[in-house]
Amino acid sequence: MNYQKTILVTGGAGFIGSHVVRLLVNKYPAYRIINLDKLTYAGNLNNLSDVEHADNYAFVKGDITDAGFITSLFEEHRFDMVVHLAAESHVDRSIANPIEFVITNVVGTCVLLNAARNIWKDDYSGKRFYHISTDEVYGTLGESGLFTETTPYDPHSPYSASKASSDHFVRAYHDTYGMPVVISNCSNNYGSFQFPEKLIPLAINNIKNMKPIPVYGKGENVRDWLWVEDHARAIDVILHNGKNGDTYNIGGFNEWKNIDLIHLLCRIMDNKLQREPGTSAKLITYVTDRPGHDMRYAIDAQKLNRELGWKPSVDFEQGLEKTVEWYLANQHWLEQVTSGAYKQYYEQQYATN
């Protein structure tokens, strides 16, 4: 079949990437979607079992930092567009091992940019390099205010510093070589297929197993939560209609203090597991704070709404309930990803508490 476009999605076996691949494969049968993923601890092909046999989908195992391999992949497929999600994505792991974040997030992004430029440089028409980034590049907010697209960068963790650096390289390729790039910076995602080292799936898993729920510091840090499928829809809209060289902030208009979110989750879990009200909340355990822990993130996503018509579609309490239902119905997935290396990570991360 002659496909209208060939799109490379990097990190498509991860949490957000798998939702993006599913959306693109199902919505655009005339596009060929190639999912490139190294399958680190965070990548899991079971996240895509429902689309793995689709005619317009193919998986390639590989590393974005391997320049020779990436060059030949671009030569073979002559991608029209790249949607770049592959990254080391967990702040706590970046504190334990910053260099891995520099290599994957900074060097890996540059390797992809370079391969795209080499293939596209004689004719950029119809081409696009879309870099998926985070609100963490903006640093932390006080009690008021929101991050806009013009908020100065002020990253504090090795993770956010590596994402900020990769954003700068993407803009540099636009400004220096005229590459058609677009960037989005999104707030915290939640939903199905999220690896249980991040707050919501970790808490669901621990509550299910009657284990302590580790809350960092006083639990007063604020995050702005977005349903992952709403993020995937935003990515689709920006991929097709975003302006070259532009940045779009994506967020849920949905701020929660960690401790309030955990209490809501405990109530939902008590209800779903038919436990006595208050049972799960007894598991809340305050533990040593994350070093350099940003206090508050909140996104102003009005530009995306005004210019491209996107807005979040899922109410947080309903989304959280659906997320809990998904994890309880997919015990096998959870058991599979929490076996082996997960146990070692968990013991090291929470050892001192």
**35's tokens:** 């999912």
Indicate if the alpha-carbon torsion angle 320, 325, 326, 332 is positive or negative: positive
**255 forms part of the interface with ligand NAD (CB under 6 A):** no
Decide: is 22 part of the binding site for ligand NAD (CB under 6 A): no
Active site (catalytic) residues: 135-136, 159
- In the complex with ligand NAD, the residue whose CB is nearer, 33 or 186, is 186
Q: How far is the CB of 216 from ligand NAD (least distance, A)?
A: 16
Interaction site with ligand DAU (CB under 6 A): 89-91, 134-136, 187-188, 198-199, 202, 214-216, 221, 223, 258, 290, 297
Q: Residue from 7, 11, 202, 203 that binds ligand NAD (CB under 6 A)?
A: 11
Q: Which does 184 bind (CB under 5 to 8 A by kind): ligand NAD, ligand DAU, none?
A: none
Residue (231 or 280) nearer to ligand NAD, CB: 231
Name the binder of 195 from ligand NAD, ligand DAU, none, CB < 5-8 A by kind: ligand NAD
CA angle 219, 224, 226 (to 5 degrees): 125
Question: What does DSSP assign to residue 207?
Answer: H
> Starting from the edge strand earliest in sequence, which strands make up the sheet with 81-84, in order?
57-61, 31-37, 5-10, 81-84, 128-134, 181-186, 247-250
297 binds, among ligand DAU, ligand NAD, none (CB under 5 to 8 A by kind): ligand DAU
State both tokens at 282: 């007894």
Between the alpha carbon of residue 160 and those of residues 125, 139, 196, 219, the distances in Å are 32, 8, 20, 21
CA–CA distance, 282 with 122 (Å, rounded to integer): 62
* 39 near ligand NAD, judged by CB under 6 A: yes
Q: Which does 132 bind (CB under 5 to 8 A by kind): ligand NAD, ligand DAU, none?
A: ligand NAD
By CB under 6 A, residue 70 contacts ligand NAD: no
Contacts 24+ apart (CB under 8 A), 155-158: 156/292, 156/294, 157/91, 157/94, 157/95, 157/292, 157/294, 158/94, 158/95, 158/98, 158/101, 158/102
Q: Can you name the residues that pair with 248 across neighbouring β-strands?
A: 184
Give the pair of three-digit tokens for residue 60.
Answer: 């390639």
Backbone angles phi, psi at 86, to 5 degrees: -60, 130
Note whether 89 binds ligand NAD by CB under 6 A. yes
Q: Is the Cβ of residue 65 or residue 280 nearer to ligand NAD in the bound state?
A: 65
- Residues in Cβ contact with 176 at an 8 Å cutoff, skipping those fewer than 6 apart: none
Q: Is 265 in the site for ligand NAD (CB under 6 A)?
A: no
Shortest Cβ distance from residue 40 to ligand DAU (Å)? 14
Beta-carbon contacts of residue 53 (< 8 Å; ≥ 6 apart): none
Q: Under the phi-then-psi rule, with left for phi > 0, alpha for psi from -120 to 50, and beta for the rest, what region is 249?
A: beta
Could you tell me the smallest distance in angstroms from the CB atom of residue 30 to ligand DAU?
32
Nearer to ligand NAD, 87 or 262 (CB): 87
Per CB under 6 A, contacts with ligand NAD among 159-198 are 163, 186, 188-189, 195
Q: Which does 205 bind (CB under 5 to 8 A by kind): ligand NAD, ligand DAU, none?
A: none
Residues of the shown chain interacting with ligand NAD in the complex, contacts defined by CB under 6 A: 10-11, 13-17, 37-40, 42-43, 63-65, 85-87, 89, 104, 108, 132, 134, 163, 186, 188-189, 195
